[in-house]
Structure 1
Amino acid sequence: MLDDVDRRILRQWQADPSLAPAELAERARVSVGQLARRQAKLRDAGVVKGVAAVIDWAMLGYAVEVSLRVTLDKTQGNAFDDFMTEARLVPEVIEIQTFLGRVDVRLSVIARDMSHYQHLYRSRILTLPHIADIEALMHVARIKSDLALPL
């Protein structure tokens, strides 16, 4: 279980992952050595999976985001596995989620423009195996997108 010191470290670390160890230790009110040991423990335990740069894909020219709700043909024995294997190979698919219920999978797809999206949809998405039904939801606005957890 996490104690108050771990939570303090995580709070400060997720607020600004670019902090130098000395600055992070000061903000978390621990020594640099204690910080290093706690960070290693948090990584080893799988609490911290990694520290990454979050890139705004719109700044790189991707202006379209579409959420695709996919229902698979579950009469096929390996429908999920086959679909997931192939969907992972599409670079513009930036997220894959699975669900219980009418919708089996949600794909988040980015494209440079509508023409690019149409091409992706026809050549890469509709060719994915075992699709029984697909619904496209065009992204209009992101109201909240917060990767930070309440610690």
Structure 2
Amino acid sequence: MIDTLDARIVRLYTEEPRTSALEASRQLGVARATLTSRLEKLQASGAIRSWSPSLAPANFGFPVLAFCFLTIEQNRGHDIVVQALVEIPEVMDVHTVSGESDMLVKVAARSNADLQRVLDSIAATEVVVRSSTVLALNTHFEARALPLFETAARA
């Protein structure tokens, strides 16, 4: 279970990810050992997945963002599709979904023409039967888990 101290720790590191453990313990008013113990617990539980930088593809040459709904060959399964898609660098996220499609794929591209190349690469996997793509015109926020984490801490 997480508590309000965990939420305060995660908020601090979300807002100031390069804060040292010593500085974080000072700002939060807790012992450094308490802070590091809590961080280790959160990592071990999987609540904190990564300390990786948050990358912005639009800022390094990939301004086109699209979401592709894929229908796959049912007898081949999802794993083979995932194995094929992980080889395409522009594929950022892959989710198995319910509804009319089987999978939802988030893709970045350099341009609309480049998006077509990426979509052709997805189709070339030979396990995708049909795809439907929508372009993101604007991203208002993404990867927004902090409010959910704070809600869980209050429960």
TM-score relative to the length of structure 2 = 0.86
Query: Which residue of 2 is the match for residue 55 of structure 1?
Result: 55
Q: CA RMSD in A?
A: 1.6
Deviation at 1:148, TM superposition (A): 4.0
- Worse overlay, 127-136 or 92-101: 127-136
Question: Among 118, 143, 151, which residue is 2:140 paired with?
Answer: 143
**2:122–2:128 Cα contact (<8 Å) kept:** no
Query: Which residue of 2 is the match for residue 68 of structure 1?
Result: 68
The alignment partner of 1:147 has SS state of: coil
The alignment partner of 2:70 has SS state of: strand
**2:71–2:129 Cα contact (<8 Å) kept:** yes
The alignment partner of 1:24 has SS state of: helix
> Structure 2 stretches of 5 or more lacking a match?
151-155
**1:15–1:148 Cα contact (<8 Å) kept:** no
TM-score relative to the length of structure 1 = 0.88
Change (3 A) 1:63 1:2: closer
Question: Among 93, 96, 99, which residue is 1:98 paired with?
Answer: 96
Number of matched residues? 148
More helix by share: 2
> Structure 1 stretches of 5 or more lacking a match?
none
Deviation at 1:19, TM superposition (A): 0.9
The alignment partner of 2:88 has SS state of: coil
